[in-house]
Chains A and B, each alone.
Chain A
Amino acid sequence: MITIYVPRDTTACALGADAVADAISAQAAQRDISLQIIRTGSRGLFWLETLVEVATDQGRRAFGPVEASDVGALFDAGFYEGKGDKLALGLSEEIPYLKNQQRLNFARAGIVDPLSIDDYKSQGGYAGLSRALAMQPQAIVDEVKESGLRGRGGAAFPAGIKWQTVLDTPAAQKYIVCNADEGDSGTFADRLLMEADPYQLIEGMTIAGLGTGATQGYIYLRSEYPKAFSVLKTALANAYAAGYLGSNVAGSGKHFDLEVRLGAGAYICGEETSLLDSLEGKRGMVRAKPPLPAIVGLFGQPTVINNVLTLATISSIFEKGAAHYKSLGVGRSIGTLPMQLAGNIKRGGIVELAFGSTLRSLLEDFGAGTASGKPIKAVQVGGPLGAYLPASALDISLDYESFAAASAMLGHGGVVVFDDSVDMLEQARFAMEFCVVESCGKCTPCRVGSTRGVEVLDKIRAGEQRDDNLILLEELCETMEYGSLCAMGGLTPFPVRSAIKHFPEEFGG
């Protein structure tokens, strides 16, 4: 039997994957060729979507980017037996973009049927859970601490320390909340992981429950992710049916329930305390810390809130051991980070690398430069609140410490590339404007400051008392950075300041 793999994640579908799959079935029927199509997640090589793979004796062979109209010719060339040159990319695993990555989180992406627990288990899935089930909670938390895993949602806070706090706080009910609100423009790693390998997240959350004594988990999913929602719902139902969730997790007698909830559609609801409000059915408003959510979290109970990637990584840490995880990365930036290439880039997609390679290598070796072909002028790493780096700074090492030293941040690993046509004052204004639109409105530096920031930048653009206004802008940035209640207002100055610092001439300086 011939097996063809066609992805079914949001990006591939947007690029015509469903039509391609239909065309393949139709052609096969016409030609009386018996084959099965397995809809996988995606390998995350978006520039090659729709990437169609065929199982051969040497491994999977890839063809792409395929459009429905190409399918007839592919059949003519015998692609279903791995033959033919048309759109042929050779063995999937040998595609340099893929081969040169160090995939942990995305190791199964595009390979397995996302909804098949058997597929998942055949690729090392649930090995971590069975290990964890044999461990005491403290030992589980120790393993996470030992691994050096830091949160992937942006702040890079050590996951083990957060878990320890939850474990140490006595309560009748504790919660695990997965932050799947993925609001940063240009990021998609969370979504892809949930669409391509959902059990990895479910397993990670289950282990988190065992480690901290939480028996209820919630995945707070961005409302614009309908595909991920349906994948998760089915995957959760399957996991319950297979006994991996519920009152007797994998026959251990331990209890963990998990639900997925759709988010409220506001960027600020990705901020953890605001997310908790939203999960409680209130309007998402940032809460002052302390108390930390780990002590007073969801419904006032101790709560672990971690990003999708953070929790998913737990599965591989328990499968392969903390030591293996620790062997990847540099310094205190341990493990891998799936970078997401977007914006004006030739080869967009997921590039999961151990910490320590360079931004240049990412943009040039993987991304192959701008899509427009014009030179790179600026790169914004870490989402809309991340700093702009100029072309001269591309040799920066991809790790938390190097970025912090450059007043920048890796954040959730989003990378948005701009060519030399970009107007940096406009980008700075955009950062303030973004804050105007997305501010929850609770604290004054952000609520009023962002509006004033836009106005001051307009005055600078208009040449009104430019020097005074630049000083005022810098003081405003300082007020927002130090005065804001949360990182929304606190980080907005970073793109603004970096634009001014690296491109002073565009501000009339």
Chain B
Amino acid sequence: MLQYYEPEKDYGTPPSLSTETVTLNIDGVDIDVPEGTSVMRAAAEAGIKVPKLCATDSLEVFGSCRMCMVEIEGRKGYPASCTTPAENGMVVNTQTDKVAKLRRNVMELYISDHPLDCLTCPTNGNCELQDTAGEVGLRDVRYGYAGNNHLDAEKDESNPYFTFDPSKCIVCSRCVRACEETQGTFALTIDGRGFESKVSPGQNEDFMDSECVSCGACVAACPTATLTENTIIKLGQPEHSVITTCAYCGVGCAFKAEMRGNTVVNMTPWKDGKANEGHACVKGRFAFGYATHQDRITSPMVRDNIEDEWREVSWDEAFAFAAKRLRGIQEKYGNNSIGAISSSRCTNEEVWLVQKLVRAGFGNNNIDTCARVCHSPTGYGLKTTLGESAGTQSFASVAQTDVVMVMGSNPTDAHPVFASRLKRRLREGAKLIVVDPRKIELVAAPHVKADHHLQVRPGTNVAFINAMAHVIIDEGLEAKDFIAERCETPAFEQWRAFISDAKHSPEATESITGIAAADIRSAARLFATGGNAAIYYGLGVTEHSQGSTTVMGVANLAMLTGNIGREGVGVNPMRGQNNVQGSCDMGSFPHELPGYRHISDASTRALFENDWNVSLDPEPGLRIPNMFDAAIDGEFKGLYCHGEDIAQSDPNTHHVEAALSSLECLVVQDLFLNETAKFAHVFLPGSSFLEKDGTFTNAERRISPVRQAMPPKAGLADWEATMGLAKALGVDMHYDHPSEIMDEIARLTPTFTNVSFDKLDAAGSIQWPCNEETPDGTPTMHINEFVRGKGFFAVTEYVPTDERANRKFPLLLTTGRILSQYNVGAQTRRTENNQWHSEDILELHPHDAEERGIKDGDWAGIKSRVGDTVLRAKVSENIQPGVVYTTFHFPESGANVITTDNSDWATNCPEYKVTAVEISKVTAPSAWQERQQAFNEQQQGLLKKARKHETTSPAG
């Protein structure tokens, strides 16, 4: 939705959720509002604006600025309208001579301690202090400007994205409250008393040294120029804005891309965005500079072989080159010798086209997506037990949860905006069970403390989840009515017999999981009896050899305790990529057509065959690991890799590199020359989310609009490039706009029947299923019955992973991510986010470090049975002895050189979370790292020669 830039309407105080109505009279107008609404908000709803500075509708009322005084008949004095609840029969005057004078005189006090440089101020034109001074008619400051003041207070420019200029601060505490209430980090305080009161990050530290996580909530809340985005300081105020959706993580925050011409000057979280309600994290909010980074490749390129220089060519040449090669391969090696990997970073429409290209154009089902390596077990596990491959709730549902179980997920780093919601609920008193080998932040955050931190040994999740269920059955805490009414009885009985076996008792599995039986018993009791209980899980559940089993165990636990089918409960996979839900929904699987319908089902196939005018191969195609194996075996020769850096992100790098090197045609479509592109023959420049229209679907099944804010840098948006390639391959595929693709999706996918761009623009976003029965979408799934009818208790036998620590590899390596970097880091590494995290670090427990003579900052060699790499070590008590941990954001780290190709039995999702390793102190990088560096230098050289012109440098 394109609109002229206008700050969003601010009602001053949060809405009241009461269902009782009160009627009051404000300035002669009768107004009905829910009980508990402030007089200020009631006035705003009636279109009457009362001056205000400290109030904003995203924060609890505070009542400090006193600008909002009104007169209320029958009341003494001049109550602040923000802190006064509306009452029946109240008669309010928002403008009388007396309040006008009082407000003006308060404003006079403010301005007596404020620089008079509005004309050169970055928020000139968008400053609530300036506006309010205008509203109250301040004309004179009789105190003069020579009195005590803060005009010389020093700026804090430590944060790369925003500047703190305390000389402009009015001490309204909005920033402090935003950091507490909205973000939950508590990095800011008001230091000092009276006139000396000032905003202080941490203990009088600067922002970068404080606990601040740079979410920007304080900046958004600040009514003055005190906290301002550096892009605004540099570029000025925006003139129009576009509502769109963050392209980083699966939270799917809605943003207003605030623009000057084609330049983004600010990404402001959109208040009406239902996933984030006006909040964001450092990535979506600030790390958008990559979109205009000089490393962006803006011209299609081709080469005959990967030792050759790249040649910049026209789009049509590139399409023709690729098409010829791909068809040539098929002729030589057979129909099945090519395939594609679709991108979970691209839009639903683009993913749809890629899988359509494969099915209708390649004539096979060799289509897979990165979900293979993250949440494929979720798809399998939830489909089996509940009948739908998706999370059951809205994020907002957590506000009604009493017991939260977070398992193998680190929301404060990986899903920060959801984490803020969660922390708010925890501060309100909800109980927390954390199941994680590491001491993640939630275990002990400001005003949040986990009731149980169960430090499960990597690879033993199933034993753990079974022990939880065992206790509940053993102690008779299961939701008998729910199970009888909603679940398949024979399956339950069978499962019950299975789980009741004493071998699943926490006492019996204590030695496997490493968790004391008493802790599991007490956590299980809490989960079963503590009220609404919800499970949030992440890759720590799925990326295991028994990932699918654990997902089923999680679903069993929810059904067992009746925690499914209403607000506040449920099974919630924390999906990683912005559109990984969408890429799965769109049929990026070798065995499934869009909407999770098996390819072997003739009637579904017929639907597509009719619409697409082709005949489809009924045989499932190759999964990513199968593609690699087939490539090495010489049977798979061509790959269209769409916005995914498999060379960096897939396990066992040696194996992946061997596979890529044996391809005869690798077509890579991406923003940057990523690790995979270094093996490519055709490079199609991708378009960032700012450059195209489409939709993303987040972890709560919310389809949100992505709207073009600037033209594609390379001339074509990703969907257009795929269309071009399709045409060159002779596939009949033409759309004038992505909305037409969505119409096709809706036509062919029962869960999307009622979705359209018009509807999305009107509603802001929609949670699928959205069809005749649920025209407005479905926030909560499985309400009266499960999608599969009755819930299915799946038997979840624990099978230890082959990847076990032994004498040679005595430690277990597990991996995770960090707030400031995103996955392979292609984007975030090209922003100032590097200031927080500029290399991947190996964390190990002091015991293990000491045994190996490793100190903080030493180089640590990490060796697994498939490879070795070197990282800098950090000695940390956040992990248990015997476990080591790293992130995987930097290609040179080679984290996947050591991960093995062990994978989930059902879905091939790699076992990233468990690799047996040995660590030793070293002085030089590993052989792989040296080769990687040499290869990288070679490929960068080949690129440089090809590039005739440098692209523009990033904005800010």
Contact = CB atoms under 8 A, between A and B. Distances in A.
Interface of A: 266, 268, 283, 285, 288-290, 435-452, 455-456, 468, 472, 475-476, 478-479, 482-485
Contacts of B77: 482
A483 B194 contact: no
Contact of B109 (A268, A283, A439, A445): A445
B110 interface: yes
A435 B170 CA distance: 19
A436 B102 contact: no
Contacts of A475: 101, 105
A266 B63 contact: no
Given A452-B109, A476-B105, A482-B77, 8 more contacts: A436-B195, A440-B193, A445-B106, A450-B195, A452-B143, A456-B143, A472-B142, A483-B66
Given A288-B62, A288-B80, A451-B147, A266 B109 contact: no
Contact of A478 (B102, B142, B148): B102
A288 B38 CA distance: 13
Given A289-B83, A439-B195, A455 B148 contact: yes
Contact of A483 (B69, B82, B83, B189): B69
B171 A482 contact: no
A438 B194 contact: yes
B920 interface: no
B63 A283 contact: no
B935 interface: no
Interface residues of B, number: 37
A442 B64 contact: yes
B61 interface: yes
16 contacts: A288-B61, A288-B62, A288-B63, A290-B84, A290-B85, A437-B193, A441-B195, A442-B173, A444-B106, A444-B170, A448-B113, A449-B109, A451-B195, A476-B105, A482-B102, A483-B105
B195 A447 contact: yes
Contacts of A268: 193
Given A468-B142, A485-B64, A266 B106 contact: no
Given A288-B83, A448-B195, A443 B109 contact: no
Interface of B is mostly: loop
A346 B80 CA distance: 46
Given A266-B193, A436-B194, A485 B66 contact: yes
A451 B149 CA distance: 10
Given A290-B85, A479-B105, A439 B194 contact: yes
A452 B64 CA distance: 18
A443 B64 contact: yes
* Ranked 5 nearest A-B pairs via Cβ: A288-B63, A441-B197, A439-B194, A288-B83, A448-B109
B146 to A, nearest CB: 8
Contact of B66 (A438, A443, A451, A478): A443
B42 to A, nearest CB: 15
Given A288-B61, A472-B143, A483-B66, A441 B105 contact: no
Given A288-B61, A288-B62, A472-B143, A479 B106 contact: yes
Contact of B110 (A289, A448, A484): A448
Contact of B102 (A435, A451, A483, A485): A483
B112 interface: yes
A288 B63 CA distance: 6
B65 A443 contact: yes
Nearest to B193: A441
Nearest to A266: B193
A433 to B, nearest CB: 11
A contacts with B: majority SS: helix
Contacts of B148: 451, 455
Contacts of B109: 444-445, 448-449, 452, 479
B112 A448 contact: yes
B192 interface: yes
Contact of A445 (B66, B112, B171, B190): B66
Nearest to B69: A483
B429 to A, nearest CB: 10
Contacts of A450: 194-195
Contacts of B142: 468, 472
A318 B897 CA distance: 81
Interface centre among B78, B195, B197 (most CB of A within 10 A): B195
A437 B195 CA distance: 8
B196 interface: yes
B83 A441 contact: no
Contacts of B62: 288
A441 B106 CA distance: 14
Contact of B147 (A266, A455, A476, A484): A455
A418 to B, nearest CB: 26
Contacts of A289: 83
Contacts of A288: 61-64, 80, 82-83
B918 to A, nearest CB: 47
B309 to A, nearest CB: 65
A109 B173 CA distance: 46
Contacts of B192: 441
Contacts of B78: 482-483
A289 B166 CA distance: 29
Interface string B126-152: 000000000000000011000110000
B438 to A, nearest CB: 29
A283 B192 CA distance: 10
A455 B148 CA distance: 9
Nearest to B61: A288
A289 to B, nearest CB: 7
Contacts of B102: 478-479, 482-483
Given A441-B193, A441-B195, A483-B66, A447 B171 contact: yes
